[in-house]
A = this chain, B = another copy of it.
């Protein structure tokens, strides 16, 4: 039976930490194992009280969540524990809404992999991430 992806995401949103992040699911494709999110800007994401820029911890958190959800959608499951996560920060993300695109790289019996790209409000690629998740049943 196919999981109702939007309902699944509403369930994820009840996570206390996810409610800090307030990510909106904008697209998904079960076959491709891809999901996209828009993340409206919040003051609490900023690195510095005065200077421009979103904190790397916020980007890392978005990457973890988006990669995990892409695999959940691809594999028709609820969620998976993260084994490891790698983030490359390519440029400072400007204050403003973010967009994240995650895609399934490998669906494995015990371990799976997904990639994520985060764009800032100016449409610039700011961070890329790759995560490995424990997907054994």
Contact = CB atoms under 8 A, between A and B. Distances in A.
Given A83-B111, A130-B130, A58 B90 contact: no
Interface residues of A, number: 46
Give the number of times this chain occurs in the complex, counting copies. Answer: 4
10 contacts: A15-B48, A16-B43, A16-B48, A56-B82, A57-B60, A60-B64, A81-B89, A83-B88, A83-B132, A128-B130
A20 B44 contact: yes
Given A16-B46, A20-B44, A111-B134, A86 B83 contact: no
B88 A57 contact: no
Identify which of A15, A56, A86, A134 gathers the most chain B CB atoms within 10 Å of its CB: A56
Contacts of A16: 43-49, 55
A35 interface: no
Given A20-B44, A45-B16, A85-B87, A134 B113 contact: no
A58 B89 contact: no
Contacts of A81: 89, 92
Contacts of A61: 55-58, 60-61
